[in-house]
Amino acid sequence: MKHGNTNLVRGFLFVLFLLIALIYLPASDFLNQSLNSSTIITIDQDVSFQWNEGEKQILDLSEYSFEAPHRGDIITIEKTLPDEKIIHPVLVLELYHCAVDVYLDGEHVYTYGQDLYEQKKVLGHEFLRVPLPEDFQGKNLMVILTVTEEDGFTSMEDTYIVNEGISYSKVLVDNLLTLLSCLTLITFGMIGIGAVLVNKNGDRDIRTLTWICGFCIIIAMWMLCNDDIMFMIISNMQVVNVIEFFSVYLPGIPTALFFANVLENPRWRKIYIGLAVFNIIVDVIIVVIHLMGIANYIVWIPVMHVILLTIIAFVVYTLVVSYRKKENEIKILVYGMSFMVIVSLFELIRFNLYKYVNEIVSERFSLMPIGALIFAGSMVYSYCMRILKRYQDKAEQEIIEKMAYTDMLTNTYNRNKCEKIWEDMERKHIPAYIVCLDLNGLKQINDTYGHSRGDDLIVNFSKILHETFDKYDCAIGRMGGDEFVIVMYDTKEQDIVSVLEELSKNIHTWNGKQNGDLLSVAYGYAYYDGAKASGVQAVYSQADQEMYELKRKMKRQMGDMREFDGNV
């Protein structure tokens, strides 16, 4: 692989990340300015917190964690709202596995999820914007949470009141890097899928591109859900939760199929395909059982964890083994996957610390967008390098084949290629006419004026042959010296006679423009019907014999047998 190809791919990825940075910095600055000029009331300080019928506690929610609640537990949060004016205010709540009711001075102003809870349906990740009256100042805000799942959470996410429009800006500011990463992944995925649909041959490279695109789109969907951006696009939280659940575990399928296409070990490929198929079967079972109301998809999380970790572990193993074998195109995948594994482990630790030890980890900044981008980038890089290497190998093979099968003087097929064509005709039973042609008087010209003069005649004769025969379905070759052969497919004998007459006219025309040596040619032809046991070689010998018969006649007409009797 030439360094130019490598640098081209690296340059493309560098420009891509540079563009993301150039968009991120000004966009972040603009959105931050809009937030800084807006009023945001946080519901964290001096909040009354009550668990079931227990005592009320006044505390700071941002620093408070508690034991994981059980299904049916009630958590009540109260706070007297400050005297700050906000136009079109909304109370922003981010919850996990809770039904919620909101009261303002005892008046019930909002409810969500109670009907789903009673129907024993899943309430997952929720991002709620509760409309409030503009005269909320000084009123008592009470939020009642009904826990719908076991061990759903151990701390409260940020809760605040803000202008409705600014609430969207805040989500974008908090997750701008995620949004840009997702847009990049989805754009690449859609472009790649478009390329796949245009190219319908379904070869291995196209399948590999399909799995890369699938991974990019699925992981982007998960990041959009996880960082609340999807709630700005889809208002139905049940739909968002289903998308989030499956987008967490579906990336294992395109990842496994990608490596099944990339790695050459047939045993590994079978294992990867088996893991992907098993993952698909489990996903189908989950959907069917969920739709039938037998069990919610959330109970399958441990199973999906095992499948995903198995795929990751096998990917790590195969990449390490391939890396040791110094497979260069695999190295970048090793780096990308290693970073992704490290980020995933970090996120797993961070999530559990945030969930169970909230006072230790209070920030929700995630490295997953960066990890996903780098891993997707490594897949794209590896794919591009494989494609470039394949095309380079193909070009080199074509050059080698051309050198092996091309006559360097006339740029027509050589004897090896002609014999290969004959073998294909015999194997596939292809009928054709074999035409043998031989220049007259070339030995005398070589002996008198030198071989360069004779070579010029051979080259010019080759050009005339192509001018005459290229309009037909045929193959033109030089058997050696001044002897040529033409294989003509789908041709009748009268067409052979006609084209040979045309050849004679073209030679006559060429001779009329010359002041020196003139061309004279003898020819003969024979038909191979595709079934003769004697083979194409015997038909060629027959055509060659006819050519020599014509050559004798031409010599006699010229009255000069000396050259023929010696060595034509």
Q: Are 552 and 564 in contact (CB under 8 A)?
A: yes
Q: For residue 150, what pLDDT is reported?
A: 81
Q: Which amino acid is at 143?
A: V
CA distance linking residue 384 with residue 8, whole number of Å: 10
137 three-class SS: coil
Q: For residue 422, what pLDDT is reported?
A: 92
Can you state the angle between helices 368-405 and 3-36, rounded to 10 degrees?
A: 160
Q: What is the per-residue DSSP string for 286-312?
A: HHHHHHTTSS-GGGGHHHHHHHHHHHH
What pairing do the DSSP bridges indicate for beta strands 89-96 and 107-112? unpaired
- pTM of the prediction? 0.62
CA distance linking residue 497 with residue 499, whole number of Å: 6
| ∠ CA 204-209-210, rounded to 5° | 95
For 525-548, the three-class secondary structure string (H helix, E strand, C coil) is EEEECCCCCCCHHHHHHHHHHHHH
Strand (E) or helix (H) holding 102: strand 98-104
Q: Are 182 and 220 in contact (CB under 8 A)?
A: yes
Partnered with residue 477 across adjacent β-strands are 413, 485
Neighbours of 393 (CB within 10 A): 11
CA distance linking residue 557 with residue 545, whole number of Å: 19
| Longest CA–CA separation in the chain, Å | 130
Q: For residue 474, what pLDDT is reported?
A: 93
CA distance linking residue 14 with residue 387, whole number of Å: 19
Whole-number Cα distances in Å, 318 to 30, 209, 260, 314, 523: 45, 20, 11, 6, 63
CA distance linking residue 411 with residue 404, whole number of Å: 12
Q: Are 102 and 91 in contact (CB under 8 A)?
A: yes
Provide the residue-wise pLDDT of the chain in tens; the chain has 568 residues: 444 445 554 555 566 666 666 665 666 666 566 666 678 888 888 899 999 988 888 888 877 878 878 889 999 999 999 999 999 999 999 888 899 999 999 999 999 999 888 888 888 888 899 999 999 999 999 999 999 888 777 778 889 999 988 888 888 777 777 888 888 888 888 888 887 777 766 667 778 878 888 888 988 898 888 888 888 888 888 888 888 888 888 888 998 998 888 787 889 999 999 999 999 999 899 888 887 877 777 778 788 888 888 888 888 888 788 776 655 566 777 777 778 777 777 776 666 665 555 444 444 556 777 777 787 777 777 777 777 777 777 887 878 877 888 898 998 999 999 999 999 999 888 999 999 999 988 888 888 888 888 899 999 999 999 999 999 999 999 998 899 999 999 888 888 999 999 999 999 999 988 876 688 899 999 999 887 767 899 999 999 999 999 988 888 776 554 443 333 3
CA distance linking residue 525 with residue 544, whole number of Å: 7
Query: What share of residues in the chain are helix, strand, coil (percent, to 5)?
Result: 60, 15, 25
Place of tokens 């509760």: 130
Place of tokens 């004026």: 449
CA distance linking residue 99 with residue 116, whole number of Å: 8
CA distance linking residue 323 with residue 378, whole number of Å: 14
